[in-house]
A and B are shown apart, each in its own frame.
Chain A
């Protein structure tokens, strides 16, 4: 009896010892904390500097991590021709994909230093929140909730889109108003699902949604005639239409149900990283404005450009690259690898791609009446 008791006593003792063995670690942590608070106090005493962020010149932590990894992790679409699509050779191609390549070139001077992570619409924000990817460029719409509540930040809009409805030509639908009682195929986890409900509610007509997880399945169900309409962003519809069994038998209704500004997204909290993404995208747009293309960028960088903004963009003047933690001539590398904004658009969304007319649309340069209006590089 007493032996059992001593046994128990000794076991408890050992456990307590083991637990207390963890303790020395904590005071150490506390010591470090003390040092930190002291630092803050020094800042606080200099009252003038209180509002100035301490790490003003600090390089982005994420950029440092990406450089250490040697690869940029980019969340993309794998099923939307034109934007993000896995082709027959097993390569990711598309408008969004090229922005990933542009970022990789800016960091590593290598457009292939990207690890593409194909994500479903439903997975993408979780992937950002859990740090699975560095940047998400996957036709993602900038909305209030996503920006404010989901802990994500949005970069410059690379494509102005709007939600449309694709229907069969023989259905006789001329507009959304004809679609009372229709069954509509829609992708889960998109703003599309909400806009669809809004569009039908505002017209006072009813519909039945049929929700799928992947855009392939959504398109397949529509193609087979399960749904009267397929709704998505118009740019995606144009791409999906080419994958249907008889593309000519379908048309996209004229109405635009929503505004869909699409652009790159990153996790909230690392402004320096956000700055880098923003200015690479801006740089590609400026390059188009200034007529710098993949073909002539090397020549322009070698000469002495008369336009000071071109000189700044190509790293011949100022320290713009260094401020972002990149090479001075990073935009030269980017432009020679993927071309300027217009070239990227032309390659994937032009007549040879999914053919989304640019002229007269929001996606034309501001000088041509569109909304592509990059901030000045100075």
Chain B
């Protein structure tokens, strides 16, 4: 009897059942198949339901006349199309998100630093703010802010005025700078003086670095930066900018600029809420910087503010950025709660569109893709910042 070269040769065909690599591949294949079947079933179900009710998936309805009005944002007439109404909604949403991100970051950083303040009163007040905001629902806060505070302001007739500024439940009205005919010329001069200021600053700054003499670059650069535009302003026959003051005209304020109660409501609501989360992130980021850094910086003779600005915050930023991105995304998505306070954002306008047109699937798809795009844009920017701030390992 010849000894077999391979004791398992007899069962070689079936041995793959015991091969974990094969089993893993099989499990993945089966899973993929299930996902495929489920997706097909869902889409098929949708198409069948739409078909049986005579509805289509076409986006052509977006060209139709909207027929409704939008209270705020880009100028919108009832004869404009659904598509333009959608654009108005998107712009309104972006307005809230962009301004909201900026303000929430500022609030968050200051509150975060205050959470670590040695001052007991400041620390307690800020931690009370953070805890209350973090532990109550945003929608409830929005309703409280809008119905409980903003709409409780005096009426337009009894508004609080301060010069040309006025505050009422109809909004905050303030003067606006209106460009006149000579504005184009003036803005060119401003641009030129800005350029001149940069050149002067750089030259003098270089000289200070190279020759070691005090050349006061900032001071010299300020001269053309402020002087030239001011001189042109005085020399021009009419001022390039005039002040457009808001005035009461019947039921509304005309002229000037305004911050509507709805915009203020959703913006403040989001800033206060997200700011509380950011504060905690900033606090944890600062605590993540080793204590030795502070001590070393203090030993070098830096002031408390300089220690924070030059040593602590730049290092804390590395820890802060990833969770901060999450908060930014939350703010962007929470902006859809604007419908609760009547602000015509993307969600509010979309829900009107899909009701008036009846094309729920298309409008919701469009709306979801828009929020997705906004969120992805925020992620991309934040990831870019994150990778720039990372410690470069050599």
Contact = CB atoms under 8 A, between A and B. Distances in A.
Interface of A: 6-8, 10-11, 14-15, 18-19, 121-122, 125-126, 129-131, 145-146, 149-151, 179-183, 185, 188-190, 193-194, 196-198, 200-201, 207-213, 217, 220-221, 224-226, 228, 267-269
B29 A15 contact: yes
Interface centre among A145, A151, A211 (most CB of B within 10 A): A211
Contacts, number: 140
A182 B251 contact: yes
B358 A209 contact: no
Interface string B72-90: 1000001000000000000
Contacts of A200: 69
Given A188-B352, A207-B69, A225-B169, A197 B78 contact: yes
B342 A211 contact: yes
Given A11-B26, A226-B261, A217 B352 contact: no
Contacts of B52: 151, 269
Contacts of B152: 224
Interface in B44-79: 49, 52-55, 67-72, 78
Interface stretch (B14-22, B120-128, B309-317): B14-22
B19 A7 contact: yes
Given A194-B356, A226-B261, A268-B54, A129 B49 contact: yes
* Shortest 4 CB-CB contacts between residues of A and residues of B: A151-B53, A189-B355, A224-B151, A197-B78
Interface string B357-369: 1101000000000
- Assign chain B's interface to a size class: 35 or more
Contact of B25 (A7, A198, A225): A7
B342 A193 contact: no
A7 B16 contact: yes
Contacts of A131: 49
Contact of A189 (B33, B54, B356): B356
B283 interface: no
Interface string B155-172: 100000000000001100
Interface of B: 16, 19, 21-22, 25-26, 29-30, 33, 49, 52-55, 67-72, 78, 147, 151-152, 155, 169-170, 249-252, 261-262, 339-340, 342, 344, 348, 351-352, 354-358, 360
Given A181-B251, A209-B68, A221-B342, A189 B352 contact: yes
Contact of B151 (A211, A212, A225, A269): A225
Contacts of B250: 180-181
B348 A180 contact: no
B38 to A, nearest CB: 14
A135 to B, nearest CB: 15
B353 to A, nearest CB: 9
Which applies to chain B's interface (DSSP): helix, strand, loop or mixed?
A: helix
A35 B54 CA distance: 26
A185 B69 CA distance: 12
A211 B72 CA distance: 10
A145 B78 contact: no
A222 B251 CA distance: 15
Nearest to A182: B251
A265 to B, nearest CB: 13
Given A267-B53, A269-B52, A180 B151 contact: no
Contacts of A8: 25
Contacts of A224: 147, 151-152, 169
Given A18-B29, A121-B355, A189-B356, A130 B49 contact: yes
A228 B169 CA distance: 12
A113 B370 CA distance: 43
Contact of B360 (A129, A196, A217, A220): A129
A79 B355 CA distance: 19
Given A188-B339, A212-B340, A221-B147, 9 more contacts: A149-B358, A150-B53, A183-B170, A183-B252, A190-B355, A197-B69, A212-B339, A224-B152, A226-B151
